[in-house]
Structure 1
Amino acid sequence: MDLGLKDKLVLVTGSGSGIGKATAKVFLEEGARVVIHGLTVSEVEACVADLSAIGEVTGSAGDLTNPSDANDLCAFTQNLGAVDVLVNNVGIFSVKPFEDLTDEDWMRYFDINVLSAVRISRVILPAMLKRGTGSIVNLASEAGVKPLPQMVHYSVTKTAMLGLTRGMAELTKGTKVRVNSVLPGPTWTEGVKAYFDGLAEQKGEPLDGIVENYFKQDEPTSLIQRFVDANEVARTIVTVAANPAANGAAYRIEGGIIRSIL
């Protein structure tokens, strides 16, 4: 299927690994030009080298909690041309008891998971509106709809991303600019594997057994009873980004964890 992305300029934040890297790869396979972003130069360079055989890819490093770094990333990308697609993917997660979460924890999570998208979008979105065309996809989570008690701070930031997405989409009325969100469920990435490796070591149990029991014990409403693959999320992101009729919506790719018909 031709999604009409050939030669389109795409910026994917937090794309040095995980869902972001998988998304960058699918965009490249569709013929788009992609800007990789990561926290460190070494991460970006390694990702660019890994994907360069697929298509036209470049990259820029920076800490998006720093407004200057965010502006530099926007300038770097816009120097390559008008940004056709922006994927706000930067985010972190951790397990921590609610009562132990400090004000600093809350502010850090909002800064990384929400304000990073705000900082990039407030540069890229006005440029798209001026041209009258463009697409933004914000990464939320099933936890934004079904908050996780062991990750209340993370869940709240993902709920905020849903509100940010719809609010931004309201600004696009009458144009061909679109803003949507994608809600992955538990997805097998390097970060998730590291978490489960640590849990297996802590419990003194085999990793396979812990992973196998995770959905039975922790996510019993999952209909697929397995982790989502990063490539499955990536293909949803790319399809939503390319669909001219998709605007202001939240697209679930969470394996049916959310028990709802909508």
Structure 2
Amino acid sequence: MKIDLSGKTAVVSGSTMGIGFAIAGGLAESGAAVVVNGRKQASVDEAVAALKNAFPEAEVRGVAADLGTAEGCAEMVEAEPVADILVNNLGIYGPQDFFEIPDEEWTRFYEINVLSGVRLSRAYLPGMLEENWGRVIFLSSESALNIPADMIHYGFTKTANLSIARGLAKRVTGTGVTVNSVLPGPTMSEGVEEMLREDAEESGRSMEETGVAFVKENRPSSIIQRPATVEEVANMVIYTASPQASATTGAALRVDGGVVDSIA
């Protein structure tokens, strides 16, 4: 299967590092014009330069905007008014006990993890419908189904992603536009590496060994028994964005290594 996204423009929120950066790279390699996003101009410039270096033939642009705010989303849409592919990847996470999470932290998680995708979808979907072709993909998580006791606020936002994506898929019924969610499990992104760094240093284990130990201890139902790579997650997103995935919509596509113990 050769995925060709030539002539398509893809906007990937939160894509200067981690899964988002890997997605941007996969889309660029497949021929799409890719718009990278981050809050800081320096990190956006660095990511754009890295992608252009890796894929010299690719068209890569960047927009520095805080998409966790309405103003930032408006800045993005003003800078890049058209998208054929929208990947709502932006998200934050972090363990915190339920009884210690203040209202403002619930609001912050909701604004960044949920409303960023709502606002961008609301802005870009009408153009996709006019062309009768488009892809909207929400990065959810296995935590949407397997709510972590130490990150309830995070799990809640990822469940919301599933609801919005399913509802939007129904909203565009009978068109050439698809809307799906992709659910990663534990993934060895820069953010996860940073979270595990102290454990690795204290134990004397490599980062890879620490990641395996984390999965076995915290996600024992994992079938692969290791974290996924960012590229493994990105591969699912690239397929979902492709013309070949035209009959896949309203779906929650798991790339969680089998963490969610379900046959469906």
User: Which of the five TM-score ranges fits, normalised by the shorter chain?
Assistant: over 0.9
Give the match for residue 246 of structure 1. Answer: 248
Q: How many residues align?
A: 257
RMSD: 1.3
Structure 1 residue aligned with 2:78, among 72, 75, 84?
75
The answer on whether the counterparts of 1:185 and 1:253 sit within 8 Å (CA) in structure 2 is: yes
Give the match for residue 128 of structure 1. Answer: 128
Shift of 1:193: 0.4
The answer on whether the counterparts of 2:19 and 2:231 sit within 8 Å (CA) in structure 1 is: yes
Alignment of 1:250-261 (within 5 A): 250-261=252-263
Residue by residue over 1:78-111, the C-alpha shift from the partner in whole angstroms, topping out at 9 and shown as x without a partner, is 2xxx411000000000011111111111111001
Residue by residue over 1:193-223, the C-alpha shift from the partner in whole angstroms, topping out at 9 and shown as x without a partner, is 000013445xx32243543322222111000
The answer on whether the counterparts of 2:188 and 2:211 sit within 8 Å (CA) in structure 1 is: no
The answer on whether the counterparts of 2:216 and 2:226 sit within 8 Å (CA) in structure 1 is: no
Supply the AA of the counterpart residue of 1:88. Answer: N
The answer on whether the counterparts of 1:142 and 1:184 sit within 8 Å (CA) in structure 2 is: yes
Q: Report the Cα distance in structure 2 between the residues aligned to 1:72 and 1:61, rounded to whole angstroms.
A: 9
Q: Report the Cα distance in structure 2 between the residues aligned to 1:162 and 1:115, rounded to whole angstroms.
A: 13
**Any unmatched runs of 5+ in structure 2?**
none
Output the TM-score relative to the length of structure 2.
Answer: 0.94
Supply the AA of the counterpart residue of 1:151. Answer: M
Residue by residue over 1:148-186, the C-alpha shift from the partner in whole angstroms, topping out at 9 and shown as x without a partner, is 111111011000000010011111111101100000000
Give the match for residue 21 of structure 2. Answer: 21
Q: Report the Cα distance in structure 2 between the residues aligned to 1:60 and 1:144, rounded to whole angstroms.
A: 29
The answer on whether the counterparts of 1:197 and 1:207 sit within 8 Å (CA) in structure 2 is: no
Q: Report the Cα distance in structure 1 between the residues aligned to 2:67 and 2:154, rounded to whole angstroms.
A: 17
Q: Report the Cα distance in structure 2 between the residues aligned to 1:9 and 1:94, rounded to whole angstroms.
A: 32
The answer on whether the counterparts of 1:87 and 1:138 sit within 8 Å (CA) in structure 2 is: yes
Alignment of 1:1-262 (within 5 A): 1-53=1-53, 54=55, 55-78=58-81, 82-200=82-200, 204-208=202-206, 210-242=210-242, 243-262=245-264
**Any unmatched runs of 5+ in structure 1?**
none
Q: Report the Cα distance in structure 2 between the residues aligned to 1:115 and 1:107, rounded to whole angstroms.
A: 10
Supply the AA of the counterpart residue of 1:71. Answer: A
Q: Report the Cα distance in structure 2 between the residues aligned to 1:111 and 1:98, rounded to whole angstroms.
A: 18
Q: Report the Cα distance in structure 2 between the residues aligned to 1:128 and 1:70, rounded to whole angstroms.
A: 18
Report SS of the residue matched to 2:80.
helix
Q: Report the Cα distance in structure 1 between the residues aligned to 2:198 and 2:161, rounded to whole angstroms.
A: 29
Supply the AA of the counterpart residue of 1:66. Answer: T
Q: Report the Cα distance in structure 1 between the residues aligned to 2:159 and 2:249, rounded to whole angstroms.
A: 18
Shift of 1:75: 2.1
Residue by residue over 1:26-59, the C-alpha shift from the partner in whole angstroms, topping out at 9 and shown as x without a partner, is 1111111100001110010000000113111010
Q: Report the Cα distance in structure 1 between the residues aligned to 2:73 and 2:204, rounded to whole angstroms.
A: 41
